[in-house]
Amino acid sequence: MHVFTVKTLTRRTDLSKFNCSKDDDLKLNEFIHKEALEYQKNGEGVTHLFYRREKIVGFVTLAMGSIKRNKKVDIVNYSKVNVPALFLGRLAVDNSERGKGVGSYLLEYCVGFAIKLVKNAVGCRYVTLVTKKGYRSNFYQKQGFKIVKSKLDKDLDLLSYNLQAA
Ligand SMILES: CC(C)(COP(=O)(O)OP(=O)(O)OC[C@H]1O[C@@H](n2cnc3c(N)ncnc32)[C@H](O)[C@@H]1OP(=O)(O)O)[C@@H](O)C(=O)NCCC(=O)NCCS
């Protein structure tokens, strides 16, 4: 069983030993080391870091999001244009911690966070994300995420986890 402490990123966070450079075509190592703090300051996503004792084993970056309904909507029903969702913007595990269930734990954390803290405070129907087709998309689908029809590039999937069913 994993026991992690979760802390949000601050300018005092020591990221010097964290490295997620393996299979990193999405440039997540660069993101966490160079961009995440600025991103957070601008209100675009808060990064949650997972510690096993002193070691950072992974991170997720969360933001508000939504899924578009495939419907034409008038002014009365304007608030129904989008279905509210928690957006999982980034997720990565340290190179040395891959294949041990850490990534799965991070996803469970996001769903739990959405249910306990977001859905109980503001409307939130889904956890949603965009990723590349292939093993990443499969990784999320194994955890209960479903592909949503979208007009994304053909190598990408929009995925959602329905909190209503949870
Ligand atoms: C994708 C990632 C988060 C998975 O983390 P992890 O801790 O290694 O994943 P887990 O150990 O929890 O594995 C969960 C499942 O995904 C599968 N999986 C994980 N990485 C895989 C890979 N590279 N290729 C194929 N399957 C993979 C595992 O086999 C496992 O399946 P199982 O439960 O049937 O055994 C990690 O590889 C990573 O950080 N990759 C680089 C960043 C990235 O791509 N993030 C996703 C951005 S959307």
Identify the pLDDT of residue 63.
Answer: 98
Separation of CA 146 from chain center: 14
Number of the ligand 1 atom closest to the C-alpha atom of 92: 39
Which runs of E-coded beta strand occur in 82-125?
82-93
Number of the ligand 1 atom closest to the C-alpha atom of 129: 48
CA of 78 to the centre of ligand 1 (A): 38
pLDDT 10s per residue in the chain (166 long)? 789 999 999 999 999 999 999 999 999 999 999 999 999 999 999 999 999 999 999 999 999 999 987 667 677 777 777 899 999 999 999 999 999 999 999 999 999 999 999 999 999 999 999 999 999 999 999 999 999 988 899 999 999 999 997 6
Identify the pLDDT of residue 69.
Answer: 77
Report domain extents, the chain.
5-162
How far lies 96's CA from each of 4, 30, 128, in Å? 16, 17, 27
Identify the pLDDT of residue 73.
Answer: 67
Identify the pLDDT of residue 2.
Answer: 80
3-state secondary structure of 35: helix
Number of the ligand 1 atom closest to the C-alpha atom of 140: 16
Report which secondary-structure segment, H or E, holds 158.
Answer: strand 156-162
Identify the pLDDT of residue 22.
Answer: 98
| Residues within a 6 A CB radius of ligand 1 | 20, 23-24, 26, 28, 91-93, 98-104, 131, 135-136, 139, 142
89 touches 43 (CB < 8 A):
no
Of all protein residues, the one whose alpha carbon is nearest to atom 27 of ligand 1 is: 135
Of all protein residues, the one whose alpha carbon is nearest to atom 25 of ligand 1 is: 135
Of all protein residues, the one whose alpha carbon is nearest to atom 12 of ligand 1 is: 101
> What's the fold here for domain 5-162?
Aminopeptidase (3.40.630)
Number of the ligand 1 atom closest to the C-alpha atom of 98: 8
CA of 136 to the centre of ligand 1 (A): 7
